Amino acid sequence: MSTESRLRIVWLYPDLLSTYGDRGNLLILARRAHLRGLTVEPSEVRSDQPVPVEADIYLLGGGEDGPQALAAQRLIADGGLRKAVERRAVVFAVCAGYQLMGASFFAKGQRCTGLELLDLSSDRGPSRAVGELAGEVDPDLGLPTLTGFENHGGRTHLGPDVRPLARVSVGVGNDGQTEGAWSGTVLGTYSHGPALSRNPALADLLLRWATGRQTLEPLDDTWSDRLRGERLTAVKGTT
């Protein structure tokens, strides 16, 4: 959490983990913070640059096997993200970025070591999960229904030290039952790409975690709400 009034948001490794509009989460967080009067300092850190330890929110996006394995190697070697998490920085990781927060994942037919920042591990599923994803979020997070789009071949097994982000009602998520995971201020999801565009309340949760504020002034979310309503209606009856 920053002692100054500026909020530092780092998008990690856009050169490796940026496949499906992942930049959207950075843009959405920055805008929602800015509208609350916060001074936002967004930055992008490439995989050949050191991970800054002092940022408030770290974002990780999706990617294919090769880049995912390389990202994990470089993040482990760098060590900065682990230090940031130890000082309770917020991490929001989607898809491939989510998998590499765990102990291990499969890429290019091999088991790869992850960052062990979430108690989970991932392997290959019987088929690729592609399509709409929805589920009721862990009541402790106080968020409305999660809605998103997933596209991944992995299945993720949660350990006792994490809680599922949501119970799946549409789609696959971790394993057809649960979707995503969270522990402390680290949160991951298979809702890929600009996941926060459909889930502004989740964006605000990350901002509250990062700023320590109990509440944030409400914003006009007319278009996000219409989008949510449309997507949740579209998937009704597909379960």
Pairing relationship of beta strands 181-183 and 57-60 according to DSSP bridges? unpaired
d(CA 191, CA 133): 7
In terms of CB distance, is 59 or 158 closer to other proteins?
59
Catalytic residue among 34, 112, 152, 192: 192
In terms of CB distance, is 197 or 211 closer to other proteins?
197
User: Restricting to residues 140-169, which ones interact with other proteins according to CB under 8 A?
Assistant: 149, 151
User: Per rule CB under 8 A, is residue 230 in the interface with other proteins?
Assistant: yes
* 192 assigned to active site: yes
Residue 51 is classified by DSSP as: P
User: Per rule CB under 8 A, is residue 216 in the interface with other proteins?
Assistant: no
User: Restricting to residues 58-97, which ones interact with other proteins according to CB under 8 A?
Assistant: 64, 66-67, 70
Residue type, 25: N
**Minimum CB–partner distance for residue 125 and other proteins (Å):** 16
* Cα-based torsion angle of the residue sequence 198, 141, 177, 64 in order, rounded to the nearest 10 degrees: 50
CA angle 91, 26, 36 (to 5 degrees): 95
d(CA 66, CA 79): 20
* 157 assigned to active site: no
Binding mask 23-62 for other proteins (x = CB under 8 A): xx--xx--x--------------x-x--------------
Which residues lie below 8 Å from residue 53, measured CB to CB, with a gap of 6+? 80, 83, 84, 87
In terms of CB distance, is 121 or 197 closer to other proteins?
197
Which residues lie below 8 Å from residue 43, measured CB to CB, with a gap of 6+? 8, 9, 10, 11, 52, 55
User: Restricting to residues 109-138, which ones interact with other proteins according to CB under 8 A?
Assistant: 130-131
Catalytic residue among 34, 95, 112, 152: 95
**Minimum CB–partner distance for residue 229 and other proteins (Å):** 8
Number of H helices, E strands in the chain: 7, 12
In terms of CB distance, is 24 or 184 closer to other proteins?
24
User: Per rule CB under 8 A, is residue 194 in the interface with other proteins?
Assistant: yes
Exposed, middle or buried, 207 (CB in 10 Å: 0-12/13-18/19+)?
Answer: buried
Q: Which residues are catalytic?
A: 95, 192
Residues engaged in binding other proteins (CB under 8 A)? 15-16, 18-24, 27-28, 31, 46, 48, 64, 66-67, 70, 130-131, 149, 151, 192-194, 197-198, 223-224, 226-227, 230
